[in-house]
């Protein structure tokens, strides 16, 4: 779906810090960055992420996203243990810009699956994105 020139997937959940979340099972999710964040950032040259088996907490700063013009925060959308890091990102982080919804950052096992209910979806996610576009453009 197109939202004011930005790709937006309706089948995903969204965190206010521009991460998308795809549920794989009751307690396992895949995390990536949304199209708006990628276009706002410019070409991503490096992503500093937590390590596999690291425990992270929702809304905690867990790394950085770097481009030629700035360094942005990577914020945990949920709490749990990192189970897998996308190694392709280490070699070619610009793939995130090319296909933000196909290029995931990491997978995690949730310590508190009820946090999924706090993420945005559907019309709420579209309204949030429209507001972010208005605010940042």
Structural domain count of the chain:
1
Position 103 scores a pLDDT of: 96
Instruction: Read off the pLDDT of residues 92-129 as tens digits, 9 standing for 90 and up.
Output: 999 999 999 999 999 999 999 999 999 999 999 999 99
Nearest alpha-carbon partner for 20 in 7, 82, 131, 2: 7
Position 90 scores a pLDDT of: 86
Report the distance separating Cα 106 and Cα 50, nearest Å. 9
Secondary element (H or E) of residue 62:
strand 61-67
Position 26 scores a pLDDT of: 77
CATH of the domain at 60: 2.40.50.100
Give the pLDDT mean for 14-38: 96
Position 68 scores a pLDDT of: 87
* Stated pTM of the model: 0.95
Position 123 scores a pLDDT of: 96
Instruction: Give the domain extent around 32.
Output: 2-136
Please check the confidence at residue 137 and state whether its pLDDT lies above 90. Answer: no
Instruction: Read off the pLDDT of residues 58-90 as tens digits, 9 standing for 90 and up.
Output: 999 999 999 988 899 999 999 999 999 999 998
Q: Is 95 exposed, middle or buried (0-12, 13-18, 19+ CB in 10 A)?
A: middle
Give the pLDDT mean for 36-48: 94
């Amino acid at each position: 779906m197109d939202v004011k020139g930005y790709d937006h997937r309706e089948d995903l959940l969204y965190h206010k810090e521009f991460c998308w979340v795809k549920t794989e099972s009751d307690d396992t999710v895949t995390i990536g960055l949304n199209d708006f964040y990628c276009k706002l950032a410019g070409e991503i040259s490096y992503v500093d992420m937590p390590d596999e088996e690291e425990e992270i907490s929702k809304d905690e700063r867990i790394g950085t996203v770097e481009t030629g013009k700035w360094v942005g925060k990577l914020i945990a959308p949920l709490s749990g243990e990192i189970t897998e890091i996308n190694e392709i990102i280490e070699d070619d982080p610009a793939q995130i810009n090319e296909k933000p919804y196909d290029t995931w950052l990491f997978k995690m096992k949730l310590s508190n699956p009820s946090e999924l209910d706090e993420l945005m979806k559907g019309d709420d996610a579209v309204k949030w994105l429209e507001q972010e576009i208005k605010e940042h453009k």
